[in-house]
Each structure stands twice: as structure tokens, then as C-alpha cells.
Amino acid sequence: MANLFTATAPFLSLSKPFTKTASYHQCYASSSNPPEPESSSPPPPPPPQQKRKKNVETTDWVASSLTRRFGIGAGLAWAGFLAFGVISEQIKTRIEVSQEVANTRDVEEEKEIVLPNGIRYYDQRVGGGATPRAGDLVVIDLKGQVQGTGQVFVDTFGTKDKKKMKPLALVVGSKPYSKGLCEGIDYVLRSMKAGGKRRVIVPPSLGFGVDGAELESGLQIPPNASLEYIVEIDRVSIAPA
């Protein structure tokens, strides 16, 4: 028994104890960069990715405005509705123009109409369109001259010897007047219709009064002058209510 224990003692003394540290170094002895021991703190989050900006250049207002607000389905529905409205308005305008032309007629014999304020007028053509009201935009052709002297101070009709000027645009009831217009013409326009043409005699009180006027063209309107006009309404744009 003593010999057996004595013989095995050197073997046991040469044995290396098996520990976790020894196995750790034996497994990764050949690796130059052993893994770092695990840390209790969580790994840092990855950097946030920047969203790519989409630069979309488009002239399609359906995609850019309506669809953003209502979605593609509702946006297209709105686009169809608006397109239908525009087409309907164009058809309505054409119908009104055709009715205006159909209802416009020339006057065979001029008759004098005297108004209480002293204005006299003679219809040369009765219009078939809309009647302008205060605030409406009106486009007119106008010829004005001083009664008695025949001095022409405005003429957009033109003649063979004179190039036609652009028609005048004014808002009914808007002051001050310019380009040969006066209070008497503003008053007369409210009883005409688009397409109509009228010869008008304006008294001094509704013209340029006792002082006369100097126009933008440099022409002088004498004091207490009665004025004779030819006025034709080309177009009436009704102001929104």
C-alpha cells in the first residue's frame, strides 16, 4: 500500500490543476487579439440615418396641393370637380356672349331722352348684355369733344387717318375720373348694357364745371363747357357679391 501511494505521488504532483483561467488562455493563446470581456452596459445606439430629401419639381397642382391635403383619391376628385367648374364657366361665358350678340340691335331712329339732372342721350345701339353696377369693371370705347367748338379731347374709336387707341377700363363709381371721363359718363353707363352705344350730351355741372380742366394729354377743357360723347360698352365684368 505504501509503495502504491509513493509511486503515484510524483504523477499527481506533476498534474496541473484545471481552472477557468487556464482554459481561457489555452483556447485563445494563438489569437493576437483576444475578445474583450463582456460589459454590463448596453452597446451605444447606431447613429441616426439622415432622411434623403426629395426634390420634386412639378407643375401638377393636383399632386402638389390637393393630394397633400386630401390624399391622392380625394385630390383627383377635387381636380375633376374644379376642372368641370372651369369648363362650365367657359360654356356659360360663351352662352352669355352669344345671347348678348343676339339681343343687341341697332336703333333705326335716334330719340332724345332728357334726364332730370340735365343729361341728354340718344341710343344708337341697344345692348343685350349685362348692365354695369357700382364696383363693376367696365371696358368702353369713348369719343369726347367740346360742344360748340368740336375740339376732340379723347377718342378710342379711331379713324382712317388716326390709329385706334386702346379701350378705356374703369370701375363704375370710382373717382377721381381721368382720360376725359367725367361724372356724367359714369352716371350714363349705369343705364346701358354691354354691347350698347349711345350719344350723350353732358352739362357743365356733371362735366368739368366752372373751372374746366387740363387733361393728361395737355388739352384744355374750357370753363362751363358742355361735352358731347359717343360711348360704347365693350365688356362688363360683374364684381363678386
SS (H, E, C) 155-182: ECCCCCCCCCCCCEEEECCCCCCCCCCC
- Identify the burial level of 179 via C-beta atoms within 10 angstroms of its C-beta, where 0-12 means exposed, 13-18 middle and 19 or more buried: middle
The label of the residue with cell 397633400 reads 68
The pLDDT, as a whole number, for residue 103 is: 82
The pLDDT, as a whole number, for residue 25 is: 46
Q: Where are the beta strands (DSSP E) in 189-226?
A: 197-202, 213-214, 220-221
List, in sequence order, every residue forming a beta bridge with 137; answer none if it has no partner.
Answer: 171, 237
The pLDDT, as a whole number, for residue 83 is: 59
| 11 SS3 class | helix
The pLDDT, as a whole number, for residue 229 is: 97
Residue (of 224, 233, 221, 147) closest to 190 by Cα position: 233
**Total-model pTM:** 0.59
Give the pLDDT of the chain (241 residues) as one tens digit per residue: 444 444 444 444 444 444 444 444 444 444 455 555 555 566 676 666 655 544 444 434 444 544 554 456 555 555 564 555 555 545 556 666 677 777 888 998 889 999 999 999 999 999 999 999 999 999 999 999 999 999 999 999 976 556 667 899 999 998 888 888 999 999 999 999 999 999 999 999 999 999 999 988 888 999 999 999 999 999 998 776 6
Single-letter code of the amino acid located at 128: G
The pLDDT, as a whole number, for residue 94 is: 67
